[in-house]
Each structure stands twice: as structure tokens, then as C-alpha cells.
Structure 1
């Protein structure tokens, strides 16, 4: 008889809309850049991100289930296409569901037909890993809350990986005091070095209040290749 796997006990967000504002410190190839960050989400439908430098918006992105649109005001160019763009940017294969879970700190179950490896440490934290689309996905869940504490995506063949650490958990009002990570550290390891983004939210609202997700390409902008 095969041993019974431990039951995974995650606690995910359940709100329809989320509106968050904060700051991001982006570091790549030794260069550091600070930006104001705004995030809007309609669950399972749209992710809207805006990054501003010195009060002027530099980049805006809108993700839907089947498309990626990016507006780069600094270079006066735009991109419209699929998730291969983000997969190349992050160096790991991603989908809309992957990005939504990453930004909200939610747990995604293993694909159908895939049996995850589950272990529990002395602190009650659960470590869950499984293969997906040629990479290994691993999540560490807090023992007391069931919230994701770390996400790691590893491509052993190319020595690339993506790690997201979630900290500064604070309860969200009107959401049953659900703990939500107000700080994220995203690190992308690749053969050429490490790119990182430290995100700290100072305001997070979640509920059923409708949000807008504007995106328009100004005249004269060139399409990114």
C-alpha cells in the first residue's frame, strides 16, 4: 500500500478586486532604481500594474488570461502579445494564473495527474513541490496561517530560477483579517547574474468595489519586437 501524502492546507485570498500602492526597488546588473508602484487585480480576469519614476509613469502593463500588453513611456514603445514575453523576462514559463498567484501570495495546486511532494518541518510549515512545464515549482506554507511564505521555480537544466519571499504579513480589513504579505522580494537567477525587485506596499484594499484598468497606446509609439 502506498503511503498517504500529507494534506496540503493553504489559505488563499478570495476577494474579487484588489487595489494596492507602494514602492519598488529594482536592481539589475548593478543598477538600482526606485519606483512608485500601483497594482490592481480583478480575480481570474485582469492584472494592471503601473510603475512611476519621480512622479511620472514609466511603465504600465495589463495582463489578461490570454494576452500581455506593456506600455513603456520612457522609450515611447509598446508590446502586445502572449505570455512568451513574460516567460523570457522572468526566465521561467508563466501563465496568468502563475502571475496572479505570485502577486497575491496564493497557493496553486499541482497540475492534474501530477503528485506533489509534501513535507512538514518542526515549525509546522509545509513544503510542497511538483514538476510543471519543464521546471520544478516549490512553495513553503506558513504553519499557523497557511499563507505562502516562499515561492521558488527552478529550471535545473539551464541553472535559472525565480524566488519570491513574502514577509510583513498584515490582516486585511473586511476580509476576515486574512494575512496579506505587504513585502515581496523577487529574485531571478540566470547565467548572466541576478535581477531583483523589492516591493513594499503601504496601502492595500480588497473587496468588491469595481476598479478601472485603463490602457491606451499614444500616437507615435513603436511596437516592441
Structure 2
């Protein structure tokens, strides 16, 4: 029996966008006289850069009203769109496309589709909801709610960078040996909303870049409750242009 993957779950996965492989860390990176400013510069300089991204992924979602797992094919074109085909037991159950303005979700199981503006996602989850941010999460790059007055703490094997602006908090943890970004946390204190992202299993993406193949995301909201998502990437390729197909069958019914 196919399990229905609800649009809400897909939207959380895409916003909070991710059997473990053996851990493989990037080569050790040295920074003299470590400061918050130098680590911030390092994060900015070492973001994954790709005009195109193609990947397979195993996705597990566990929320208060639903638990489901599926496989997905993902394509990203920089500053243009994110496309995803979600499959269960070999059948496509949903197709998603995000552009600069909207999110489109086709539900194959119920012959329905939904279209929502990114402003709706921002108001629903109180998170930065724009294409640039979603693509950064997909690539495993840091998302900066605020980078001013950043402070630095040392915690066991990690550097912990903290920035707070009003009710918004930004946290980044970097491995002391490799300076790889291993955890981030984004918080909205006033509305009690928080997203935690663990980035694991770094492997070479090309001669100069490393990619986190395993992501664990936890979302906690006073309105939506708690949700956990695990994304296990495979077959990741960059800068290979793809043909992207997305069309809504005329017989499908729109739901909001």
C-alpha cells in the first residue's frame, strides 16, 4: 500500500532542507589566531558553489501527524528553480517545483495539486523563505539571518559561532580540525520556532569542494509541533545541465 506524502511534509523538507555511510571528513584546515570574523569569512569563502546540482536522496520524515519515507530525485538550477520527484515503491507519488515566487506540489495519489507563494511559507514557518535560502540549505551552505556582532565559543571539538538580532538567533558549529560546518541552528525566540540542522558524511564533490551527504533536520514550532527529517544523498553531480519537466495534468484538482 502506498503511503501518501502530504504537501505539508514536503514543504517542511524543502524549507528545513538533509543507513549512514562511513564518515569521511575533509582534510584538516588551519587558521591562525582563530576569531569569529575569520571563521565567518571561511564559511562564506567555502560555501558549495554550483550552477546545477543533480542528486538522488532517501528521505525520512517523522512529524506529529505523519511518518513516511521515500526516495527522491532532485535537480537545482542556481537562482532559477528547485525540482523534486518523490517516489515510493518505484512509483512517483509527488512532484515539486520551486521558483523565485512560488511552490508547486503535484500529488499523484489524489490527483490534486497546490500552488503557494513563498510569502505564504515565510508567514507559516517564520523562516527565510526565498529561492536563494532554499538552495543554500539544499547545498549545505550556511544561511545568515544576521552576521553582525558574532561571538565565538570553543566547545570540545567544535567552534561555536553565535549571532543574535532582536528575536532572531543564528548558531554555527564548525569542526576544529577541518573547519567543516557540522551543525546550524536558526531560532525565532518570540514565536518559539527553531530549526536544527546536522551536516555529516562529508565527501569530495570535486577537486576543491566537499559536500555533506547526510543531513538531519529537526523543526520545532509552537504552532506546528516537532518534526524530524533525514536526507541521505547519493549520486550527487554538479554543473551538468538538465532537462526539467513540470506540468500539471488538466484533470487534477487544485487544493490550498
Q: Is the 8 A contact 2:148 2:163 kept in 1?
A: no
Q: Deviations over 1:13-33 (max 9, x none)?
A: 112111110211111126421
| Residue aligning to 2:7 | none
**CA separation in 2, counterparts of 1:185 and 1:67?**
25
| Residue aligning to 1:57 | 92
| Residue aligning to 2:214 | 183
What number of residue pairs does the alignment pair up? Answer: 216
| Residue aligning to 1:197 | 229
| 1:94-133 pair list within 5 angstroms | 94-109=129-144, 115-121=148-154, 123=157, 125-131=159-165
2:196 pairs with one of 140, 154, 163:
163
**CA separation in 1, counterparts of 2:78 and 2:177?**
25
User: Larger deviation: 160-169 or 101-110?
Assistant: 101-110
Q: Is the 8 A contact 1:46 1:64 kept in 2?
A: yes
2:122 pairs with one of 87, 91, 108:
87
Q: 1:65 to 1:146 in 2, by over 3 A?
A: farther
**CA separation in 1, counterparts of 2:55 and 2:181?**
18
Instruction: Give unpaired runs (5+ residues) of structure 2.
Output: 1-34
**TM-score, with length taken from structure 2:** 0.74
**CA separation in 1, counterparts of 2:255 and 2:77?**
27
| Residue aligning to 1:223 | 254
Q: Is the 8 A contact 1:91 1:188 kept in 2?
A: no
Q: Is the 8 A contact 1:90 1:188 kept in 2?
A: no
**CA separation in 1, counterparts of 2:145 and 2:50?**
22
Look up the SS of the partner of 2:86 in the other structure: strand
Q: 1:163 to 1:219 in 2, by over 3 A?
A: same
RMSD (Å) for aligned C-alpha atoms: 2.4
| Residue aligning to 1:214 | 245
Alignment pair present for 1:43 and 2:110: no
Q: Is the 8 A contact 1:119 1:128 kept in 2?
A: yes
Say which structure is richer in helix: 2
Instruction: Give unpaired runs (5+ residues) of structure 1.
Output: none
Q: 1:142 to 1:41 in 2, by over 3 A?
A: farther
Say which structure is richer in strand: 1
Look up the SS of the partner of 1:97 in the other structure: helix
| Residue aligning to 2:169 | 136
**TM-score, with length taken from structure 1:** 0.84
User: Larger deviation: 153-162 or 101-110?
Assistant: 101-110
Q: Deviations over 1:67-96 (max 9, x none)?
A: 222212223221223113433664534221
